[in-house]
Amino acid sequence: GRKCNFSDAVFNPPQFVDIFPDPQLTSLFTIARSKEIGVQCQACDVSALNINMDCATTEAHGVFHKEGGWPRDVNPQEADQTDRYRKKIENDEAYSRTDLQLGHQMEHYIKQNNVFNTYEDYFTDSPDVQTPDPNPLRTLHLLKDPSPIKRAAGLDHRVTGLSWSSDGGTKLAAAYSDPFWKNLFDHKENDSYIWNIERAVQPEIIFRSMSQLRSVSFNPRDQHILAGGSIYGSVGIWDVRKSQGPVECVPIGVGHSESVLWWDMRKLNAPIDALLLEPSSIPRSESVLSATCLEYDPSTPNKFLVGTRQGIVMNCNRRARTTAERIMCQYEAHLGPVQGLHRHPQLPKIFLTVGDWTTNVWTEDIRDSPILTLKCLNQNVQLLAGAWSHTRPSVIFTAATDGALYLWGILAQRITPTLCSQVSESPLLSLSTQEHGKIMAVGSKDGRLSVIQISDNLSTVTINDEVALNSV
């Protein structure tokens, strides 16, 4: 309509027309009780988006504050000026009055603090009650393959080997490789990396080899020395203080065999001893087994476990003379290849094997059958790696082809996993737990390395945990 015109005149409007209601039109008027209209409900419009943000590069800088609080005309480097200024302040009456007032307040708080013992342990006889953690497995870092060539080509090597450093697990070595038959004659990146968990934006050290590494392991006594095995059967020794390349390397044709070989790090041109994986007492070439994994614990230096492609696990003694004495006993562990072996950190006679869709727990005293079998309910899911918790004796971690990490608390339940966490969309190939038990690392087929923090409920040992495991 038109714009309203306002004025300061006295309100006395003139009357132009007076229209009375029409009774006929009033009878035709209908009151609408309800009305239907279509609208769009905004509450139903829900969208979800998952974003993996890039890591921000940060730097830590410290500030050292040695001397401060002096007036501008006082040079703190001159002792006579500072002494003169201190005497001036101490002779001031306000200084003495303030010092006396602060002394009374401090005396009051000290006496108040001494009334109660804030460090006294109350209710020591009560049982331990663990509060459930809403997030028992939390991903700290998701480390991608940092090679710019592989990222530009859209390629990601598999994380096939993991090892924690011997200095408490502050560093993590990861071996990256492709299957032997994949792109056999193409150029391949042979870099593997050492990550510092506290500064995991970029790898701290890059170590290279003539071929891709399938496995890697830190020296248990020297955190600067590593050993790695390549996809072509060669073995190399790296000293990260000297160079990125290996300081010693086994020739390709020498290290690839159906035997367990012993080497001297100072001379890798030929093995010093060998053990043929022959299950029977009479050696026959057609019955020799091929190894898939090996478990060696420095706490038992003369014993080691060998898992084979035929599903048999051999318990061997390095100090024996003959082959029959070296292979002390055999365990028919799985129907297919043995994918993983791990001896218990606190109970050396107990070890676990991973293969097909089961995880078996064995003891060296019983050869006929495992003392415990953990099965995945979905038999289409195969297990590829497994490890004990270093601090909680009854906890087992297993990695599967569906990209999930399964946690088993064998004292609580054994039919189904205690916890299942989806780590990746691709199969998990490698798994390693830290010595302190708080962190673990999982490597996947798409080249991603996940560093996972374990909650206190799953990493802190209880009073009767080890005793109950022995009774099982």
Same domain, 355 and 251: no
Flag whether 356 is in a domain: yes
Flag whether 156 is in a domain: yes
Summarised one tens digit per residue, pLDDT across range 243-296 is: 888 888 887 777 666 788 888 888 888 888 888 888 775 555 567 888 899 998
Average pLDDT, the chain: 82
Q: What does the DSSP assignment read for 368-404? A: SS-SEEEE-S-TTSPEEEEEE-SS-TTEEEEEETTSE
pLDDT given at position 14 = 64
Backbone φ and ψ of 209, nearest 5°: -145, 175
Give the confidence band of 152 by pLDDT, cuts at 50, 70, 90: very low
Residue 445: left if φ>0, alpha if ψ -120 to 50, beta else—which one?
alpha
Same domain, 190 and 303: no
Of 276, 310, 325, the domain-final residue: 276
Q: Which amino acid is at 217?
A: S
Same domain, 198 and 253: yes
More confident residue, 166 or 461: 166
More confident residue, 428 or 36: 428
pTM exceeding 0.95 = no
Summarised one tens digit per residue, pLDDT across range 82-111 is: 888 888 888 888 888 888 889 989 998 888
Summarised one tens digit per residue, pLDDT across range 135-149 is: 788 888 898 887 766
H/E element, 86:
helix 79-90
Same domain, 265 and 294: no
- Domain ranges, residue 204: 147-276
Provide mean pLDDT across the span 16-35: 78
CB 403 within 8 A of CB 423: yes
Flag whether 28 is in a domain: no
pLDDT at 372 over 70: yes
Same domain, 293 and 324: yes
Flag whether 60 is in a domain: no
Q: What percent of the chain has pLDDT over 90?
A: 25
pLDDT given at position 128 = 62
Flag whether 308 is in a domain: yes
Task: Look up the CATH number of the domain holding residue 368.
Answer: 2.130.10.10
Summarised one tens digit per residue, pLDDT across range 202-256 is: 899 998 888 888 999 999 888 899 999 888 888 889 998 888 888 888 877 776 6
Summarised one tens digit per residue, pLDDT across range 189-201 is: 788 999 998 888 8
Domains in the chain, number: 2
Summarised one tens digit per residue, pLDDT across range 49-82 is: 666 666 677 788 777 766 667 888 888 888 898 8
Same domain, 313 and 253: no
Flag whether 166 is in a domain: yes
pLDDT given at position 333 = 92
pLDDT given at position 450 = 93
Flag whether 22 is in a domain: no
User: Cα–chain-centroid distance for residue 81?
Assistant: 57
Same domain, 268 and 292: no
Same domain, 289 and 402: yes
Residue 215's beta-bridge partner residues? 229
Of 246, 276, 306, the domain-final residue: 276
